[in-house]
Amino acid sequence: MDFSLLHIRKATENDLDFLLDLRVKTMNEHLINSGLLIDKDAHLQRILYKFEDAHILIYKETTIGLLKIQHRKTEIEIIQLQILPAFQGNGLGKYILNMIIEEASLTKTPITLSVLKINPALKLYVRTGFKIVEENEHSFIMKF
């Protein structure tokens, strides 16, 4: 995959249908297996949470994912990173995480994220250097 063909833009209301489809494709199985609510309203509520920090990932001309990230003085929080299954497993997630890590290292700002315990993305986060610092019933809180 040629990462130079990846572009990121701010999400708009016009992206809501894509984001709902993306969330269903990337999260339904994990949410069901965790015993969490998965109806359309719950998905929409999560999509709209901190929507002002949402960015759409575009590869070539295809909309492929979401990066919802919040920059604060004391930390960078990765709220959501979701990539369509057809584009997973080719290093794209690692590339995006490394871009964020590089940015954070310039200002020595920690990065935090939350991931469902059963989400396969947990392996990616660990391989990239994130450490589990806290946990609750369903999720790990991780920090880089």
Answering whether pTM is above 0.75, one says yes
Q: How many folded domains does the chain comprise? A: 1
CATH of the domain at 104: 3.40.630.30
The closest of 123, 24, 38 to 66, measured between CA atoms, is 24
What range does the domain containing 135 cover?
Answer: 3-143
Q: What pLDDT is attached to residue 35?
A: 67
Cα Rg for the chain, rounded, in angstroms? 15
pLDDT in tens, 67-83: 999 999 999 999 999 99
Q: Which stretches does DSSP call E strand in 1-144?
A: 6-10, 54-59, 62-71, 76-83, 111-116, 131-135, 139-143
Q: Which amino acid belongs to residue 108? A: K
